[in-house]
């Protein structure tokens, strides 16, 4: 696969600056919000396209083993080799890769402050738009979905949550939090607030903070990524404390 257009110098610098861990088997990046993981439209390069920057002399390049929504920032993993891709793909299918996200939600901390959301989801298509809906478990299109959350900080109109999805359904965290009345800020599709503390929310306030997984060469790795400035700015405006991990 080749990128839609050759990466520019700026794109090359961007994707190289995103690298937070690499070895001969894997490459981990802190994806910025606004960059599609795969399948970007309009001739724009996605992160998958930009991985061509890391191609070896034989032309082989890393490939993503999972994805993040375009407006979600944070840790994303690529495999450098086919054996590594197969190894990690099996772990993802078996739900053996643990993911942890940070989310800023409104109007405050959920009740209870920590818990589990287990609600089946189904895919709904309207033209070119696709979204997910909570549905009965016996619906013919139902997909089981489970997310665990805990409140890290709360303010007068928002809360900072740590969320760990056990399943990996499309938009799962976004829909689950909206389902319990705590939509993610900056998420108009699922009812998220667009202003917090008098500050406009620039995008979906969801950040993939960490991945914990078995490494293809043995042992376990935990890779973390700090939230970006826009996320920290909204948290500050909402009087939420982001502690060191």
Catalytic residues: 69
Count of Cβ atoms closer than 10 Å to residue 129 Cβ:
8
**Of residues 12, 108, 113, the one with CA closest to residue 55:** 12
The bridge status of strand 98-105 relative to strand 159-165 is antiparallel
**Of residues 124, 118, 186, 129, the one with CA closest to residue 158:** 186
Q: What is the C-alpha separation between 224 and 210, in angstroms, rounded?
A: 4
Tokens of 135: 């549905």
Q: What is the C-alpha separation between 95 and 99, in angstroms, rounded?
A: 10
């Amino acid at each position: 696969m080749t990128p839609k257009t050759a990466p520019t110098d700026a794109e090359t610098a961007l994707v190289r600056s995103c690298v937070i861990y690499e070895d001969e088997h894997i490459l981990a990046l802190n994806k910025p919000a606004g960059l599609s993981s795969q399948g970007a439209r309009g001739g724009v390069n996605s992160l998958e396209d930009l991985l061509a920057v890391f191609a070896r002399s034989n032309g082989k390049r890393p490939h993503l083993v999972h994805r993040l929504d375009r407006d979600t920032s944070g840790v994303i993993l690529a495999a450098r080799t086919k054996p590594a891709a197969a190894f990690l793909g099996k772990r993802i299918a078996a739900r053996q890769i643990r993911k942890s996200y940070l989310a800023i939600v409104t109007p405050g901390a959920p009740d209870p402050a920590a818990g589990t959301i287990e609600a089946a989801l189904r895919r709904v298509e309207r033209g070119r738009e696709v979204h997910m809906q909570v549905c009965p478990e016996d619906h013919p299109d139902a997909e089981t979905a489970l997310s665990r959350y805990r409140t890290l900080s709360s303010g007068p109109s928002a809360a900072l949550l740590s969320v760990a999805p056990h399943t990996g359904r499309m938009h799962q965290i976004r829909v689950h939090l909206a389902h319990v009345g705590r939509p993610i800020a900056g998420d108009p599709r699922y009812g998220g607030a667009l202003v917090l503390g008098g500050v406009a929310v620039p995008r979906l306030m969801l950040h993939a903070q960490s991945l914990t997984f078995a490494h293809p060469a043995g042992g376990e790795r935990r890779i973390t990524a700090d939230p970006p400035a826009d996320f920290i700015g909204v948290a500050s405006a909402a009087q939420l404390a982001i502690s060191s991990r």
